[in-house]
Amino acid sequence: MTTPGGGEPTEVELDTDGVPRGQSVLDALLQMLDVAELTPDVYRGLSPKSRLQRVFGGQVAAQALVAAGRTVGADRTVHSLHSYFVRPGDPREPIDYYVDRTRDGRSFTTRRVVAQQQGTPIFTLSASFQIDEPGVDHQLEMPEVAGPDLLPSYPERLAGSRHPGPWAKIPRPVDIRYVTDPPWARALGLPLPGAHTQVWFRADGRMPEDPLLHICLLTYVSDLFLLDSVLAIHGLDPQQRNLQMASLDHAVWFHRPIRMDDWVLYDVSSPSASGGRGLGFGHFFGADGQMVATVVQEGLVRLR
């Protein structure tokens, strides 16, 4: 796996609010996802330096998928993954990914990955890969929304917000354009039954042609917004002190080829919340209207 620039490092570009963005930040993320082989079927990933107290769930899911993909032939692409977040990961420690070659069939290949820190499991993933096959074809219609060029940039959205949280000052490898108001910009205590969170995003730079890398970047991004609609329905603010949130499980189905350096629309809603848990349901659409992936996540949404 190589970054598109190669050669000399790209000069760091700053967003309008002074946060690093652009090709150099994207290349750093791609290098982080490029897990290193320690022994056959064992890989090691590192986390970026940040103020986050635990490893971002999208990072460990994407790194685990890269590790699984390294053991599968180039004639097969991943069509689904199912994962559980077992323990919070420590961003100061490396993560070791142990790949089990569960099955190699004629059409499908199955892999199981256990991510460990200091010998303790923090995450498990099962992924299925398939050869390219023809078949019946249909999809949901893409929602009618404003295009990304008509929407404010991420720092423009952040301007004047009450407390946008830890992501506000972290380097941005992805250009994000909210169609709907983000949770930290909505009026506190105003429930929005049936609310959807809709976000355009794309890699903030050039991507290699490796299809698995585009899929892994989508997996990384998919964990960012899934519980937003749970909060919107109940008028909750992600930064309020009595709210505890964490990802519990994460599943993705990949329907069609994905280009992460083109605009992708993420449409998320929440069909249910109960027992201190909220369910997020999301669909990804390419700018051409093709439905490229579906994501489901259950997360802890606990009011103390």
Q: Which of 247, 267, 269, 270 is catalytic?
A: 247
- The helix/strand/coil state of 199 is strand
33/225 Cα distance (integer angstroms): 20
220/33 Cα distance (integer angstroms): 9
Two structure tokens written together for 55: 């490893």
- The helix/strand/coil state of 234 is helix
Closest CA to 200 of 268, 98, 253: 268
Q: Which of 117, 126, 269, 297 is catalytic?
A: 297
Give the list of residues 6+ apart from residue 150 with CB closer than 8 angstroms, or none.
none
Question: Catalytic: 247?
Answer: yes
Bridge partner list, 301: 245
Per the document, the length of the chain is: 304
Decide if 225 contacts 268 (C-beta within 8 A).
yes
Question: Catalytic: 297?
Answer: yes
Decide if 234 contacts 288 (C-beta within 8 A).
no
- The helix/strand/coil state of 200 is strand
Q: Which of 96, 223, 237, 267 is catalytic?
A: 223
Q: Is residue 120 classed exposed, middle or buried when 0-12, 13-18 and 19+ CB atoms within 10 A define those classes? A: exposed
Which sequence positions are flagged as catalytic?
223, 247, 297
